[in-house]
């Protein structure tokens, strides 16, 4: 596939997640703000678009298959994958990382006040993410499974109590954007998760874990915003039209 400056970032990453590596290295947001073209993002970052295109061509059109074909999965299967892969990861890492950041803030906050703010931001994120994932698991994702079952069995789809899936999806997208902003602030405060020279091992580990957490969250949000949600909205529209 020929990659052009006019390609939309989120769609390119949806087609081949390997492209995310290049955008990540260039600090180009491919999840919450992925609805821009490559040219627009490069202009905003003052980056040579031709260099980015060459790197994308190399990683996407080189030897080897894409990492996965999640864009080809039905929305119910994709929702289950997100819970198993990403929700489980977040639930496991939140208490561990919160503990590390609290310790770093207590020990190094006097000389490095940014770690106090990072701890506060992550604590806020931990609380919001826990509620966010439960809303998905208890409200939106069950309806997605219900829609998929209706399509497979030909049974009628009753209207959800939230009116249409556009409503919870809009809320999820807004919350994703909030977390994206929060992690961008943490990345700036930590100099892209670079510990100072005097950092102890706990300091270093906490930054490394925070960067890993952000990477997983970016993929998590990308899968929902750019693949799952459009599939769910399309499926709902098809079912509504078939019931008319």
Helix (H, G, I), strand (E, B) or coil at 238: helix
In this predicted structure, what is the pLDDT of residue 68?
Answer: 59
Is 17 within 8 Å of 67 (Cβ atoms)?
A: yes
Phi and psi angles of residue 37, each rounded to the nearest 5 degrees, phi first: -80, 160
* pLDDT tens, position by position, 182-237: 999 999 999 999 999 988 888 998 999 999 999 999 999 999 999 999 999 999 99
Token match 């400056």: residue? Answer: 5
β-bridge partners, 37: 8
* Gap between the Cα atoms of 41 and 46, Å rounded: 8
Token readout for 81 is 């994958």
Summarised one tens digit per residue, pLDDT across range 142-154 is: 999 999 999 999 8
pLDDT in tens, 32-80: 888 999 999 999 999 999 999 999 988 887 654 444 578 889 999 999 9
Alpha helix ranges (H) inside 141-228: 141-153, 166-189, 201-222
3-state helix, strand, coil in the chain (%, to 5): 75, 0, 25
> 């807004």: which residue's tokens?
174
Residue 183 sits at the vertex; the CA angle it makes with 182 and 188, to the nearest 5 degrees, is 105
pTM of the predicted structure, to 2 decimals: 0.80
How much is the average pLDDT of 158-172?
89
* Domain definitions of the chain by residue range: 9-61, 72-242
Phi then psi for 31, rounded to 5 degrees?
Answer: -110, -75
pLDDT, mean of residues 24-28: 86
Predicted confidence at residue 156, as pLDDT, reads 81
Burial profile 80-114: b = 16 or more Cβ within 10 angstroms, e = fewer: eebeeebbebbeebbeebbebbbbbbeebeeebeb
| Backbone φ and ψ of 70, nearest 5° | -60, -25
Q: Which two tokens stand for residue 88?
A: 């489980």
**Residue range 128-136: mean pLDDT, rounded:** 97
pLDDT of 128 higher than 90:
yes
Give the separation between CA 53 and CA 55, rounded to whole angstroms.
Answer: 5
Contacts of 200 (CB under 8 A, 6+ apart): 107, 108
């Amino acid at each position: 596939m020929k990659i052009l400056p006019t390609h939309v970032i989120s769609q390119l990453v949806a087609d081949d997640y390997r492209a995310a590596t290049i955008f990540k290295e260039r600090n180009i947001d491919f999840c919450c703000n992925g609805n821009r073209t490559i040219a627009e993002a490069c202009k905003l970052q003052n980056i040579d678009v031709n260099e980015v295109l060459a790197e994308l061509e190399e990683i996407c059109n080189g030897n080897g298959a894409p990492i996965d074909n999640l864009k080809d999965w039905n929305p119910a299967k994709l929702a289950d994958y997100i819970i198993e892969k990403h929700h489980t990861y977040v639930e496991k890492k939140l208490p561990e990382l919160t503990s590390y950041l609290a310790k770093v803030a207590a020990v190094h906050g006097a000389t490095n006040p940014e770690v106090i703010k990072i701890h506060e931001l992550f604590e806020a994120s931990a609380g919001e993410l826990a509620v966010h994932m439960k809303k998905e698991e208890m409200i939106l994702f069950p309806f997605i499974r219900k829609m998929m079952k209706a399509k497979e069995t030909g049974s009628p789809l009753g209207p959800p109590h939230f009116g249409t899936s556009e409503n919870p999806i809009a809320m999820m997208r807004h919350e994703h954007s909030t977390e994206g902003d929060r992690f961008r602030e943490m990345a700036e405060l930590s100099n892209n998760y670079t510990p100072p020279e005097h950092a102890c091992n706990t300091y270093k580990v906490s930054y490394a874990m925070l960067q890993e957490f952000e990477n997983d969250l970016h993929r998590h949000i990308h899968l929902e915003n750019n693949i799952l949600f459009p599939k769910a909205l399309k499926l709902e529209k098809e079912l509504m039209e078939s019931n008319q």
